[in-house]
Structure 1
Amino acid sequence: MASIVSVVLNNLSILIRQEIEFLGGLGADLLVEDHPEVRSWVGQVRDVAYDVEDVLDEFVMRCTCRRSTTWYGVLRKMYTKSVGAIKARHEIATRIQEIKKRIKNISDAHNRYKIQYQSILPEASSLSYSHRNTMQYDKRGDTLLLEEADLVGIEVPKVELTNLILNVDARLNVISVVGMGGLGKTTLVKTVYDDDFVKTKFGHHVWITISESFKLEELFKDVIRQLFSEENRECPEDVDGMEINRLKRVVKDFLQTKKYIVVFDDVWQRTHWDAIHLAFPRNQFGSRVVITTRNLELGKAVSVTESRGFVYSLRPLPNPEAMQLFCRKAFSGRTSCPRDLIGICEQILRACQGLPLAVEVIGSVLSTRRHKKDWELFYNSLGTEMKRNSQLDPMMKLLSLSYYDLPNHVKICFLYLSIFPEDAIIWNNNLAELWIVEGFVDSVNGMTVEEVANRYLNELVDRCLVQVALTDKQGRIKAIRVHDIIRHIILLKASEQNITTIFRGQEGMSFPNNVRRLALHGSINDHSEHAQSYCKSILSLILWKYIGGNISEPCLSSLLSHGRKLLKVLDLTDAELERIPDEIFKLFHLRYLNLDNTKVKYVPKSIGMLRYVRTLTLSETHVTELPAEVQKLQHLRHLILGRLHPEPFLETFEQVQGVKASFRIGNLKSLQQLIYIEAVQVKNIRTVTEIAKLVHLRILGITKLKREDGKELCFSFGNLTELCELIVYSANEEEVIDFRHFKSSDLPRIEKLILVGRLEKYPEWISSLVRLTRIDLRYSKLSDEPLECLHDLPNLVILNLTWAYQGESLSFKAGGFPRLNNLHLRFLQELRYVTIEENAMPFLQQLLIRDCLSMEDLPVGIENLMRLQELEFSNMSNDFLTNLDKQREACKKLKIPRVVISSYTDGRCFTNCPNFINSLVIIRRRFRLVARRMQIDVCMLHFSVCIH
């Protein structure tokens, strides 16, 4: 019976796949907006696809027998094989028959639509709305008609782009102007292109607008007409009959000895560039090719990789210019806002986030509304307005083009961003893991699924659909955010396709018939019965506490018990939970469980029932030990534990508290990330020995390491060939981290190394870890200078020495630390002298020196740090401040953009001081005086006072 059901399910999957492939060929994403019949049909295909997915999941859940050695388990297994299995399979077979009937109807419709819309298929693939539907107005063409006097915020970008175009390089340069849709790329380039001074620098000028469905022959005919017209010459008589290669030859021969500028506006794909660029000769007359594109990767490829060119990333409008543009549109040419509307204007502009198209269109919409209440209503219902207000259609269409151009496998990843709240910082690693557990990421030969997910994310960044929020010191993306206007588009499309449902706590909120992913942006406690009736097939439940999301333990239990146990993602970060509800352990398909920052105190043995979970995170909880049943989680890849010090800005040794695992953690063969685990020994089980079995481990954080554990841990490293990050805390401040047996060849991929604890001798093997980008040594208490062994590390970007060195001097030698970007020296209380030789740390941008109370002078040779952007001194001695005051003239010459002098004082140091308040005032005045005399650009005075 099981094999028959499997075959039927497989056949159903094939049928659905065929329907979805037809959708792709039809360009359904485009057609559904204008064709209600197609929209209905697409919805039917989507719903039946969801039902097939649910049947597959439920079949696996109900017909998979779980191993058990208890008498109850054996009886349960026997029942499952007999009565229970027959019942389950009968129910599933009935549902399969219903689905087959629905698929039959969909297939019949497929045949009708295939004929009915065959004639518009070419149009459906075009990205130009004006070509597809003459009733739709393509606003992009208006940018070519604007006068410069009508533009706002164009002055600085115009100068910058003009300088790039008119640089003295005689070779052909390709300049790519990159930015998201609506940012004004075409407007900027057209302004520069039309500038009289720029025009005189080039003998020939060509402007070509590219569309997704452009015809190569027509494009080159247009180029030829522009070139010949500029010389008042007749085009070749047979130009209309020329084939493409001859057309290219005519263009190349014409421009071979000319200085020219050619603009290709709105280039979407690399294939477009490949088809046209060879016709434009790489002569030595200073010619320029300019392209505008929404694709950063494309811009880099054509400008940097293929030619000596530049990528110009267009920035959003600054707030003053955005307000000026908005007022021009909203108030008939005025440049200021009426006083009573300033507040709501600022809110609207925050939503626009400097996107000129959004500022202009929304300003125009509001120009007919004069009452503040009308403006507030518009702002509060912006998502609804974008869906229903025809005046916003041109903006919606233009911004949606980038979405339609995405590959199908990336589209759903993009729409999944709808679960995140407005202005949320979205961490890459977390997002990639969510995509994976949701089943959005396809495996690729030679790549891990994590690498594929990161490729998807980079594609969204390159296409300017998401913004980079944070990067690490190596320039790698750590977090992203979504532009507010783009987010509204995501919300609309995700809702239309029933990918996510956002619950904001409103009474009477309507749910889709089949909720798939539920994000709680409001409290669901009072709506639980309403929600339960629609959440039987829910796949994801994500709580956002910081914007009002909340769910009580009884409500959560009720919601989970009414579902069909198909949940794959459960994120309860910050939830008011003191225990893990039993219903969670019945979620057979659960892949992702996040209980961060809850009040959970222990993990029940039932955790072993979640056999398919990939991510289990329990950081910032009260859990101190894991049960042995965790080792049953054979698919577990990310186990994140531990608790940070409640005051993370204080430099204390016990900043991290790990969690004990009194079982063979080496049985978790799939683990890639393990933080923070205690180095304990229970009976005959040693954690440091078990770690050797985790051969796929990439990130390891271990606490309470003792001297006697060091040798065994070093031997374990020999198996961890994929380890990239290693964080080690010794058992206490005086406990020695014994890594004498470490071999640098054991960790060939290590990039980040944090050692917190005593080091009897500096580990010289660090000098051979050529991939290292970050080193933190804390509480090392070394007597020998540690810099010599770090001097030649080729990729080191961050160096942090905290309580690490007990000597009087540090010397940075010439040529040393070739890529160091950040240097932090903290609590080096014996340190008196820092010397920086010429050509040392040539790329250093941030130098932070804190609580080095023996220092009396600035580092000698600090003027050699030519790229220094930020210099900070915190809690330094009075002698240091006095000398700093005396050297103010020398300090001015350093021209460091940001200098910070700060004092982080703990009230406890003043508790026995009768003049506590007076002392604080004196300190505050002294810092202000030094800052004023040195004419520091930015001076931040931090006083965190806590009286005990």
Structure 2
Amino acid sequence: MESAATDLFIGKFVAILESEAASIAGVRDQVDEIKQELVFMKSFLEDADGGEQAHTQVEKAWVASVRDLANDVENTIDEFMYRVYEQRNGGRFSRWIHKTIHFPGHLWYKRQIANKLQKILVAIRAIPERNQRYRGAAAVEGKSTSEDIRRWVQNQAESSLYQKEDELVGIEGDKNMLLGWLMDEAKHQSVVSVVGMGGSGKTTLVARTFKDEIVRRHFECYAWITVSQSYVIEDLLRRLIKEFHKEKKEDMNAMSYNELLEILVNCLETKRYLVVLDDVWDVHLWEKIRFSFPDKQLGSRVVLTTRREDIASSSFGVESHVHKIQPLERSDAWELFSMKAFSSYQNKSCSPELLPLARELVEKCEGLPLAIVALSGLMSSKKSLTEWSTVYNSLNWHLTNNSLLEPMKSILLLSFNDLPYRLKQCFLYCSLFPEDHVIRNNRLIRLWIDEGFVEHVKGVTPEEVAKGYLMELIFRNMLQERFRGSLPACKMHDLLREIALSIAKEEKFCVVHDGGETVEETGALRLSIQTTNGEIGTSR
């Protein structure tokens, strides 16, 4: 995630090397050495932010120390550039004074910068020694790895097939639409995509449709597989064969892609089949798997669920339909919340004193079923107004520390972890804006460019590149499309913003203060101070 900013740092280093400050003895060598170290910091932090996730506390501390050093470098360089700008662009009187009378002040700040650079170099050299010293530390038990989370999410998705009908609300209209597409009279194969943000109920909706007796009678055979972010195409084919050939005992582990493909095609080419590909993240999956699904004009259907609109709207080479999951209506959201939150209350309904807070908590979920169910489970054990107020006022803390909300956080985090590192910075930056704030696209694009988040692409303007980033976040359902008047804009879902703030604070990317608390030194690169009258101030 740090790479875009690191590129900006390196550019600033070049400016220093070309400036008169480098004439101080030793500064040029220090800057050059730090510049080389920063290139390696950049690669290290990209790895730490991508597939090579830290699992032990020592590894996490190591990553944090490198990130803190990168932040120190940026702050030092920004300070130097500010001093240079101040000296070169002071008022007319200030410039006349500096020409008339010699002030040693500029030498003082140059030496101060040199001292800071020296301390940074000492800290950089100490990191590998410290890591070597503590490398043998054991992993902390009880912490989930990313693979554990993926496996848990897959199990949760497939358990949707067995969810009770009376636990569901607000899906009948959507279900009837899917039934219409699946069982229309068209003989050619077609693809139905169900798209929405994590936790919006895509899998639940498709599961209810898949299990419907009408569907079971209409198709001769059917299969459900969960794809997820990491998959091997041969494993998907094996799972499909097992779904269609439940009696097949033959070991398929040694079979090649072509052998598996032949078995699957032979099985399906004379049947009307229904296949569900749940939780698709890869835009290229269809190209890899489509030959497994022969189209013999028998009315077969393929359904996929995804968080990404670019996947849902892909050209599949056959007729396709897209259904975008909408948030639950307020009445449905309240009904779903009440089912669990007040299950042990008298008459299974909310008491009058809790009603305002309960309504506000449901509003914060913005119609997201996963969030509603998770919060209702947490609140079912809270009986007093004080307990409800505590949770409402510290929701960010509960998202990070309360085990009852961990499943929801894990599912929502999958979307963040799947972002390219440049988009992660852009996404976290949006959390600096107040809750429910609608951000004009043009303003956000300018801010991203000013921050150095936007990479240089030959032949394309920075504005066009940044607009591509913004559309990607919208396609991935990480930001919601809105308008301010006639101007295109966007906003963050409240709970995604809470998670973004937790990540941003931990990584010292930014912190937000609402004006009701003391601003403490956190080491964060960015600070947003927000007041109840809607004013917002940010600084770096």
User: Aligned equivalents of 1:361 and 1:504: distance in 2?
Assistant: 26
Distance in 1 between residues matched to 2:330 and 2:368, nearest whole Å: 10
Q: Equivalences for 1:274-313 in 2 at 5 Å?
A: 274-301=287-314, 304=315, 306-313=317-324
- The equivalent residue for 2:88 is 66
Shift of 1:515: 4.0
Which 10-residue stretch deviates more, 327-336 or 395-404? Answer: 327-336
Shift in Å at residue 106 of structure 1? 2.1
Q: How does 1:778-817 map to 2 (within 5 A)?
A: none
1-structure distance, mates of 2:228, 2:313 = 20
Asked whether the 8 Å contact 1:30–1:404 carries over to 2, the reply is no
TM-score, normalised relative to structure 2:
0.86
Residue in structure 2 matching 1:108, options 115, 129, 137: 129
Counterpart CA distance in 1 for 2:123 and 2:88 is 33
Identify the residue that residue 496 of structure 1 maps to in structure 2: 506
2:197/2:478 contact within 8 Å kept:
yes
Mapped partners of 1:387, 1:381: distance in 2: 10
**Partner AA of 1:450 in structure 2:** E
1:168 maps to 185
Deviations 1:519-551 (A, max 9, x none): 1213xxxxxxxxxxxxxxxxxxxxxx733668x
The residue number in structure 2 matching 1:403 is 416
Q: 1:271 to 1:137 in 2, by over 3 A?
A: closer
Corresponding residue for residue 184 of structure 1: 201
Partner Cα separation in structure 2 for residue 399 and residue 423 of structure 1: 18
The verdict on how the C-alpha distance between 1:440 and 1:113 changes in structure 2, with shifts beyond 3 A counting, is farther
- Paired position in structure 2 for 1:710: none
Number of residue pairs the alignment of both structures matches: 512
Which residue is equivalent to 2:15? none
Change (3 A) 1:172 1:472: farther
Shift of 1:77: 5.8
CA distance in structure 1 between the partners assigned to 2:72 and 2:100 by the alignment = 29
8 Å contact kept, 1:125–1:213: no
Does the 8 Å CA contact 1:176/1:312 hold for their aligned counterparts?
A: yes
CA distance in 2, matches of 1:519, 1:300: 37
> 1: distance between equivalents of 2:271 and 2:154?
38
One-letter code aligned to 2:529: L
* CA spacing shift, 1:77–1:8, aligned 2, 3 Å: farther
SS in 2 for 1:157: helix
Cα 1:125–1:444 change in 2 (3 A) is farther
Q: After superposition, what is the alpha-carbon deviation per residue over 1:902-947, rounded to whole angstroms, capped at 9, x for unaligned? A: xxxxxxxxxxxxxxxxxxxxxxxxxxxxxxxxxxxxxxxxxxxxxx
- Amino acid paired to 2:322: V
Deviation at 1:248, TM superposition (A): 2.1
Q: Report the Cα offset of residue 423 of structure 1.
A: 1.2
Residue 14 (structure 1) aligned to one of 23, 28, 36: 36
2:335 paired with 1:314: no
Letter of the structure 2 residue corresponding to residue 158 of structure 1:
K
Question: For each residue in 1:393-440, what CA deviation from the matched residue of structure 2 results, as whole angstroms up to 9, or x when unmatched?
Answer: 111111111011111111011111111111111111111111111111
Identify the residue that residue 328 of structure 1 maps to in structure 2.
339
Which structure: larger Rg? 1
| Structure 2 residue corresponding to 1:383, chosen from 375, 390, 396 | 396
Give the 3 Å change call, closer, same or farther, for CA 315–8 of structure 1 in structure 2.
same
Distance 1:72-1:153 versus aligned 2 partners, 3 A rule: closer
Q: Match of 1:517?
A: 526
- Please say if residues 352 and 359 of structure 1, whose CA atoms lie closer than 8 Å, have aligned partners that are also in contact: yes
Q: Are residues 146 and 6 of structure 1, via their aligned partners in 2, closer, same or farther at CA, if it must alter by over 3 Å?
A: farther
SS of residue in 2 equivalent to 1:158: helix
Cα contact 2:438–2:484 (8 A) shared by 1: no
Give the direction of change, closer, same or farther, for the CA distance of 1:263–1:141 in structure 2 (3 Å limit).
Answer: closer
**2:312/2:322 contact within 8 Å kept:** yes
The residue that corresponds to 2:534 in the other structure is: 547
> Which of residues 432, 439, 442 in structure 1 aligns to 2:452?
439
Tell whether the 8 Å contact from 2:309 to 2:475 is kept in structure 1 after alignment: yes
Report the more deviating stretch, 328-337 or 245-254. Answer: 328-337
**Residue number in structure 1 paired with 2:235:** 218
Q: Secondary structure of the residue that 1:339 maps to in structure 2?
A: coil
Cα deviation 1:450-501 (Å, max 9, x = unaligned): 111111111111111111122898xxx8111211111111111111112222
Once the two structures are superposed, residues 321-371 of structure 1 have per-residue CA deviations (whole angstroms, 9 ceiling, x without a partner) of: 111111111122876433333222211111111111111111111111222
Letter in 1 for 2:74: E
Q: Distance in 1 between matches of 2:276 and 2:484?
A: 32
Aligned residues of 1:425 and 1:481 also touching (Cα < 8 A): yes
By percentage of residues, which structure has more helix? 2
Query: Gaps (5+ residues) in structure 2?
Result: 1-20
Which residue is equivalent to 1:373? 386
* CA distance in 2 between partners of 1:57 and 1:250 (Å): 62
Counterpart mapping for 1:522-537 below 5 A: 522=531
Instruction: Judge conservation of contact 2:343–2:349 (CA < 8 Å) in 1.
Output: no
Alignment CA distance shift 1:359-1:91 (3 Å) = same
The reply on whether 1:412 has 2:425 as its aligned counterpart is yes
Residues 174 and 337 (structure 1), Cα distance of their counterparts in 2 relative to 1, 3 Å cut: same
Q: Over the residues paired in the alignment, what is the CA RMSD in angstroms?
A: 3.2
SS of the residue corresponding to residue 299 of structure 2 reads coil
1:670-714 residue CA offsets vs partner (Å, 9 max, x unmatched):
xxxxxxxxxxxxxxxxxxxxxxxxxxxxxxxxxxxxxxxxxxxxx
Contact 1:19 1:110 survives alignment (8 Å): no
Instruction: For 2:280 and 2:414, locate their aligned partners in 1 and report how far apart those are by CA, in whole Å.
Output: 12
Summarize the Cα distance change of 1:28–1:439 in structure 2 as closer, same or farther, 3 Å threshold.
same
Q: Percent sequence identity over matched residues?
A: 34
Instruction: Give 5+ residue unaligned stretches, structure 1.
Output: 523-544, 551-568, 571-589, 591-948
Asked if the contact 1:27/1:125 (under 8 Å) is kept, the reply is no
Query: What are the superposed Cα offsets for residues 294-336 of structure 1, whole Å, 9 maximum, x if unpaired?
Result: 11111111xx464320111011111111111111111228764
Q: Mean Cα displacement is larger for which, 17-26 or 331-340?
A: 331-340
Name the structure 2 match of 1:824.
none
Q: Aligned AA for 1:493? A: I
| C-alpha displacement of 1:85 | 4.8
Report SS of the residue matched to 2:465: helix
Distance 1:375 1:269, change over 3 A: same
Secondary structure (helix, strand or coil) at the match of 2:339 reads helix
Q: CA separation of 1:69/1:88 partners in 2, compared to 1, >3 Å: closer, same or farther?
A: closer
Query: Of residues 17, 20, 40 in structure 1, which corresponds to 2:61?
Result: 40
- Tell me how far apart the structure 1 counterparts of residues 396 and 447 of structure 2 sit (CA, whole Å): 25
CA contact (8 A) 1:180 1:463 kept: yes
Matches within 5 A, 1:79-98: 83-98=104-119
**What per-residue deviation string (whole Å, max 9, x for no partner) do you get for residues 83-124 of structure 1?**
455433322222111101111122335567889899xxxx96
| Alignment deviations for residues 40-70 of structure 1 (CA, whole Å, 9 cap, x no partner) | 2222112110111122233334456638997
Once the two structures are superposed, the pairs formed by residues 825-836 of structure 1 within 5 Å of their partners are: none
Q: Distance in 1 between matches of 2:185 and 2:485?
A: 34
| Partner residue in 1 for 2:493 | 483
How far off is 1:189 after superposition?
0.5
Report the CA distance shift for 1:109/1:410 in structure 2 as closer, same or farther (over 3 A): farther
Which amino acid in the other structure matches residue 96 of structure 1?
Answer: L
Match of 2:435, SS state, is: coil
Corresponding residue of 2:245: 228
- 1:506 is aligned with what amino acid? G
Superposed CA offset, 1:563-599 (max 9, x none): xxxxxx76xxxxxxxxxxxxxxxxxxx9xxxxxxxxx
- The 1:116/1:257 distance shift into structure 2, 3 A limit, reads farther
- Does residue 194 of structure 1 match 2:203? no
Aligned equivalent of 1:50: 71
